[in-house]
Structure 1
Amino acid sequence: MEWLRRAPLDEAAERSTPLPVLRLKHLLNVLQRHEPHRLAVGALLARFWREVDTVALFADFGFSPRMNFFGELGQRLRLRLLPITPETQDLGELFALFFPSERDAQWLAAIDDDTLARLVEALGPVFAQGREWREPLIDGIAYPAAAVRASGHSAALRQRISAELLADDPFRQLASAAERLGERARAGENAALLQEAQYLRALLDACRRAAASVRTHLEAYGVSVDIVFEVDQLHARCDRIEALLNTLLAPQPGRELLRLIAELAQQAQARRGIRSLFARHYSLLARKVAERSAATGEHYITRNRSEYGQM
């Protein structure tokens, strides 16, 4: 990975194919021509695939472990200031080591269909030695669905969601539908799987609409930064579920999986940014101050840090 990533993209600006992709093609050529190298690399990857927690990447990566602004801030500071250890089985943690550059998503998205097909062919026997390749995707759908259900049923959101959108309780149904979809996928019931997938997509849309209604309440009663942050996380988890569902159902899942990995590489860079998080936080805070000032006639002028803290 280090050899692929260190290919300078600037020098290859005029190339139709990024240099990391050319290096990947060269690597595949070497493995194809030299059986001992192919077996050694295959054995290494097979062991890695068996021992690593793949679900952590699909289900947890990119989401804050705490549903509040300061929890996310602490997580981003840790990622920015402290080195990431490779001594872990969490693929979500290792992923940030594999793709630490903001340019990684560019060359991942530039991998052509022929190279992707060769890569899938080379990795196929590796995955066959471990768990069934769809199992991490199935669990990656079920776990965020459970998190969406918990978030939608939290007191802070439940009290602010429009009552008519909660009448059928789409959050509870979402988790159950995700479990049924996993059962159909494991049983190889393709027709039933497609039906469950269609129902799951409808529930995702219902959950998004319900979560969006929270903002209507905030416009009327003021902005809560933590609530808006939790709604954003809920929407992001719904998007992740849909991306995993697309990969699970795709006739040729390699392209969808590559697209998902490129998106995760972008998220890995975004989560290192502190400025973007503060920019959103202070824009919400400014709205909160303006709304309270308009509603109560209070003014927000401070002359020292003590008065600022009291405000």
Structure 2
Amino acid sequence: MLHILEKISASPVNAELDLLIELMRAIRPKKREAPELAITNVRTLTHVLQQHPHHAATLRHYLLHLLSVRRQTSLYTDIGILSNDGFFSELHRRIAYRILPPALDDRYLPDCLEKIFPFDTDYLWMQAVSPEDWAALFDVVSQAEIELPDLEQIDEQKTLTEILLAIQVLSYRISAIGIEPELIRIYSDIKAFESPFLMQNVELHRYLDGYMRHLNGDPTPLEDASHVLVMLEQCQDVVKKIRNSTLRLGTSISVTYRLVRLDQHLDRLHKLLSLVDVGTTDSSAAIANEKRSIGLQLGLELIEAHNRKYTVRDLFAANINLLARNITENASRTGEHYIAEDRREYAAMYRSAAGAGFIIGFMSLIKILFSYLRAAPLVEAFLFSMNYSLGFMFIHVLHFTVATKQPAMTASRIAAGLHSRDGRNIDLDSLTELIVKVVRTQFVAVLGNLTIAFPVAYLLVYGYFLMTGHHFVTPDKAEHLLHDIDPFSSLALFHAAIAGVCLFLAGLISGYYDNKALYTRMSQRVARARWLNGLLGKARTARLGDYLETGLGGLMGNFYFGILLGTIGTIGFMIGLPIDIRHITFSATNFAIALVALDHAVSWHVIAVSTFGVLAIGMVNLWVSFSLALFVALRSRQVKFRHSWPLVKSLCRRFLKKPVDFFIPPKTAPLPEPESGVEPS
């Protein structure tokens, strides 16, 4: 390090990056060394500079000169901030640049970072160094006496001018994003000419005019940036209100993308203003330390953003969490209907599930009839898909319940329960009670499906045998049906897990279309369709629009769920992989069909294995779909729940105290108890 510092001291007025690259290489841990080794290297550099103040002074001048001769604005306005091109254009750009990186231009500071910090992991070792160690190094460099004060003052003013220009650019962009028609439509309470997004630009111009006069020697005291900061806080409040409105009115990818960009611009502008603001009369060490802390935070943020600027995962993470929040919020509200509070609702859930079981009994037979057509694979997949899709949509229209559709909805409701009312405590007792309700409602829904679907399928095929004199399926087909639900000698549980994934995807699709129906105001669009008004009349068209706005998600979720169930087996056949689906209710009906086809000549061992297989398939269906839905719901809400063990203990205590509550609800819903919480992580 001393050798590099001596070379810098020999020519401090040097615009080349080579010496800085060498210095970073000396500090950076080697490829297989721990990032924490950088701590020792930074402390060594600090110690060397303390022993050689002249080197510290020339290093400062060298760094300032490097900054002053390069264009810095894009570093502060672009790095770490999503581009204006939109989500898909940005995704395409990142993928393209990962394959073939862009050309570099040393005149621009962001391109210089590519040479100074060439590795994607550079930000890790820089973050491993504590703020105190960076502050000590910064103090040694900044406090050393300089031999070229006039030149350094010129360099400092050039750098400051670039930062002020970046502040101005960020302010213009905030104004442009904030008055986008989509955002104003969502939050219509604010008029464009009263928008804080425009007023912050007016205040900023006033502040920058005074700042430039101050730099040019005007003796008038410089006002601080407090007025601008107040306007930025108002902008952030409006962003929060828009986000809350999207939970009620729906959102889109473009709106979500704009909100993320707006947040990034507001945060960056706030930090830059805090760095350059000199209007305060208080010049205490505390303010200097605060500015240094903000500068260090911003520097590390820029380097991390530079290292990860072509990372596709970060782009998805910034947008999908917000979009998924809106989708799962709709699923959460739907999940309220899948939770039975008392015995009246419990009985209603059983009747709803029984109705679905009755229809599924017919759907099972129709699928087998389609298989007898021996159609081409794609035609067969289409027929199976339509059987599933139209059947599930019919079940939805009649307000019946397929038990396996519940977990994707109730998981979002449980995730919503992890949000405390006061933002600090999570009520474990209420959460335990919610899970108990979910478990018993799930139990009665499964019971309703199975207790009706099995006898309906049994009676249908037995009646077919009595009328025709031969069985609905051959003995070979019956053996095949039994083998498909055997959890020990087939891939039944693996196929059940695939069905669980399909159930989870159906829940997301349902939430997506619920969100889309709200955002596009489906009811009004349908009501305005002239051809529908002419066909159905205004009153019926209006009712249809109202129904689609509230029920489109359920219809589309069931439709696509049927498509998934009907095509996966054919896809597995066509690509030669053992991919198929097993669904608990259809497995139960297939068991009934096989029993009749074999004239009940099956051993108790086969009956026991098949019964266990049906229940195991159901457990896998429910667990996979619930786990995936809960994971997405927690991620979308950015909740890290670390009270799993206390929650498990609370559930165990509840089961030992009142095990019947997990299966049968009380006659009336209990009154809510006073809230008792634990601190969330």
Q: 2:154 aligns with which of 129, 143, 148?
A: 129
CA distance in 1, matches of 2:310, 2:295: 23
Residues paired across the two proteins, number:
298
User: Structure 1: 5+ residue runs without aligned partners?
Assistant: 306-311
User: Following superposition of structure 1 onto structure 2, how do residues 124-273 of structure 1 map, counting pairs within 5 Å?
Assistant: 125=149, 127-130=152-155, 132=157, 133-164=159-190, 168-188=194-214, 191-194=221-224, 197-249=225-277, 251=283, 252=288, 253-273=291-311
Q: Does the Cα contact within 8 Å between 2:123 and 2:300 map onto a contact in 1?
A: no
Q: CA deviation at 1:239?
A: 0.7
Q: Does the Cα contact within 8 Å between 1:173 and 1:203 map onto a contact in 2?
A: yes
Q: Give the aligned partner of residue 58 of structure 1.
A: 76
Q: Which amino acid aligns with 1:7?
A: P
CA distance in 1, matches of 2:270, 2:318: 25
Q: CA deviation at 1:272?
A: 3.5
Q: Give the aligned partner of residue 40 of structure 2.
A: 19
Does structure 1 residue 90 correspond to structure 2 residue 111? no
Q: Does the Cα contact within 8 Å between 2:260 and 2:319 map onto a contact in 1?
A: no
CA distance in 2, matches of 1:73, 1:120: 41
Q: Give the aligned partner of residue 309 of structure 1.
A: none
User: Which string of whole-angstrom CA distances, capped at 9 and with x for unpartnered residues, describes residues 115-161 of structure 1?
Assistant: 21222246975642325143223222211110000001122222222
Q: Give the aligned partner of residue 556 of structure 2.
A: 298
Q: 1:102 aligns with which of 110, 115, 123?
A: 123
CA distance in 1, matches of 2:302, 2:55: 32
175-184 or 231-240, which deviates more: 175-184
Normalised to the residue count of structure 1, the TM-score between the two structures is 0.79
Q: Does the Cα contact within 8 Å between 2:186 and 2:245 map onto a contact in 1?
A: yes
Q: Give the aligned partner of residue 331 of structure 2.
A: none
Q: Which amino acid aligns with 1:233?
A: R
Q: Does the Cα contact within 8 Å between 2:60 and 2:141 map onto a contact in 1?
A: no
Q: Give the aligned partner of residue 118 of structure 1.
A: 140
CA distance in 2, matches of 1:26, 1:168: 55
Q: Cα 1:12–1:281, aligned 2, differ >3 Å: closer, same or farther?
A: closer
Q: Does the Cα contact within 8 Å between 2:70 and 2:107 map onto a contact in 1?
A: yes
60-69 or 144-153, which deviates more: 60-69
41-50 or 134-143, which deviates more: 41-50
Q: Cα 1:255–1:5, aligned 2, differ >3 Å: closer, same or farther?
A: same
Q: Cα 1:117–1:42, aligned 2, differ >3 Å: closer, same or farther?
A: closer
Does structure 1 residue 77 correspond to structure 2 residue 72? no
Q: Cα 1:33–1:174, aligned 2, differ >3 Å: closer, same or farther?
A: closer
CA distance in 2, matches of 1:295, 1:123: 72
CA distance in 1, matches of 2:132, 2:173: 33
Q: Cα 1:85–1:24, aligned 2, differ >3 Å: closer, same or farther?
A: farther
Q: Give the aligned partner of residue 25 of structure 2.
A: 3
Q: Give the aligned partner of residue 308 of structure 1.
A: none
CA distance in 2, matches of 1:214, 1:163: 10
Q: Does the Cα contact within 8 Å between 1:42 and 1:123 map onto a contact in 2?
A: no
User: Which string of whole-angstrom CA distances, capped at 9 and with x for unpartnered residues, describes residues 240-294 of structure 1?
Assistant: 1111111113753444322210122232344343224335555526817333256
Q: Does the Cα contact within 8 Å between 2:27 and 2:42 map onto a contact in 1?
A: no
CA distance in 2, matches of 1:23, 1:82: 38
Q: Which amino acid aligns with 1:154?
A: E
Does structure 1 residue 49 correspond to structure 2 residue 67? yes
Q: Which amino acid aligns with 1:60?
A: D
Q: Does the Cα contact within 8 Å between 1:76 and 1:273 map onto a contact in 2?
A: yes
Structure number with bigger Rg:
2
CA distance in 2, matches of 1:74, 1:10: 34
Q: Which amino acid aligns with 2:256?
A: V
145-154 or 208-217, which deviates more: 208-217
Q: Which amino acid aligns with 1:28?
A: L
Q: Give the aligned partner of residue 28 of structure 1.
A: 49
Q: CA deviation at 1:108?
A: 7.3
Q: Which amino acid aligns with 2:295?
A: L
Q: Cα 1:32–1:139, aligned 2, differ >3 Å: closer, same or farther?
A: same
Q: Does the Cα contact within 8 Å between 1:84 and 1:93 map onto a contact in 2?
A: no
**Cα RMSD after superposing both structures:** 3.5
Partner SS for 1:129: helix
CA distance in 1, matches of 2:270, 2:69: 27
Q: Does the Cα contact within 8 Å between 2:174 and 2:265 map onto a contact in 1?
A: yes
Larger RCO (CA under 8 A, 6+ residues apart):
1
Q: CA deviation at 1:53?
A: 0.7
Q: Which amino acid aligns with 1:91?
A: L
Q: Does the Cα contact within 8 Å between 2:72 and 2:162 map onto a contact in 1?
A: yes
Q: Which amino acid aligns with 1:130?
A: D
Partner SS for 1:163: coil
Partner SS for 1:111: helix
CA distance in 1, matches of 2:103, 2:252: 35
User: Which string of whole-angstrom CA distances, capped at 9 and with x for unpartnered residues, describes residues 33-54 of structure 1?
Assistant: 569xx76x67754553332111
Q: Cα 1:175–1:210, aligned 2, differ >3 Å: closer, same or farther?
A: same
Q: Cα 1:183–1:105, aligned 2, differ >3 Å: closer, same or farther?
A: farther
Q: 2:312 aligns with which of 271, 274, 278?
A: 274
